[in-house]
Amino acid sequence: MSLAVSAIGQGLLWAVLGVGLFLTFRILDFADMTVEGTFPLGAATAVAAISNGMNPLLATLLAFVIGALAGLITGLLYTKGHIPILLAGILVMTACYSVNLRIMGRANVSLLGKSTLFKNHLLAALPQYFDSVVLGTIVMVVITTIVIYFLQTELGQGFIATGDNQTMARSLGINTDNMKIMGLMVSNGLIAFGGALVAQNNGYADVNMGIGIIVIALASIIIGEVAFGDLTLNQRLVAVTLGSILYRFVLLLVLKLGFSANDLNLISAIILALCMMLPVFKNVLNFKHILKRGLDTND
């Protein structure tokens, strides 16, 4: 029971990353590697700020801002510097590694004895693991609501159009460069926010905690789409959170099978690769109804 609660809590906390990556990967339609740097950047920022006596909530919001700045740099390199997005992301991700070491002063900083969001009186009174379930639910409801509202605004529609058909978007007067920069900023802000939450939940920040983040975030998106099939855009955003929780259960199962925590990146990569190849299998094996629209390559 407590393992299941823990999986749900972790899934909710990590779902922030899925929603963040959704904005670039699914809406703007490119893979942004920056997130591998902004996740530990958010963690480092929050941990350093808390260690210096900042209020944990402010420290977490500060992580969002710093993450958004990293996204801004990637966006400028990509749109104004004409560097391919994959490389622009890798450049900022690499730079983030040094920045993170600067922020933390060393490779690993503990929050032992420090205040965190989870040490709030209300959360601390809950049974074990329920703190992350409650906080994760609040965070995901707020973030998902804001993102869904945004996507239904005039600006949000321009943002979607940019990822859907850039030529058309430009011919309608949408500044596609600004849309991409905005998307990268919000996306990386959310990822850093997620990093701040995870670091406070774990009780430490580590400079290497970003490795494989893009795979984990993608896994929540893809698993959500595979599990729930044909959905509207708003439903798909909610499915990301559910996908993230499902993914935690898969990891739990894998650990139960006797694999060690060190194998998790390998297993995550295999799960994601299999999920992403499902449309190919579908053609080869002629599955019907197992896979739906969310996985088609043109979607």
**Site of interaction with other proteins (CB under 8 A):** 149-150, 152-158, 160-161, 164-165, 167-175, 298-299
CA distance readout (Å), 2 to 127, 129, 199, 241, 247:
10, 7, 21, 20, 17
Give phi and psi for 204, each to the nearest 5. -160, 165
Q: Which is nearer to other proteins, 87 or 164 (CB)?
A: 164
Minimum distance of other proteins from residue 120's CB (angstroms): 31
Helix (H) or strand (E) holding 91: helix 85-104
Q: Which is nearer to other proteins, 102 or 299 (CB)?
A: 299
Minimum distance of other proteins from residue 22's CB (angstroms): 14
Our CA dihedral for 21, 22, 28, 29, rounded to 10 degrees, sits at 90
Q: Which is nearer to other proteins, 98 or 152 (CB)?
A: 152
Q: Which is nearer to other proteins, 30 or 118 (CB)?
A: 30
Residue for token pair 């859907």: 164
Minimum distance of other proteins from residue 156's CB (angstroms): 8
- The tokens for 141 are 């409801």
Minimum distance of other proteins from residue 69's CB (angstroms): 21
Coil/strand/helix, residue 293: helix
Tell me how far apart the alpha carbons of residues 46 and 297 are, in angstroms, rounded to a whole number. 37
Tell me how far apart the alpha carbons of residues 274 and 279 are, in angstroms, rounded to a whole number. 10
Minimum distance of other proteins from residue 29's CB (angstroms): 9
Q: Which is nearer to other proteins, 177 or 263 (CB)?
A: 177
Q: Which is nearer to other proteins, 171 or 260 (CB)?
A: 171
Q: How many CA within 13 A on the CB side of residue 28? A: 27
Q: Are 205 and 51 in contact (CB under 8 A)?
A: no
Minimum distance of other proteins from residue 99's CB (angstroms): 31
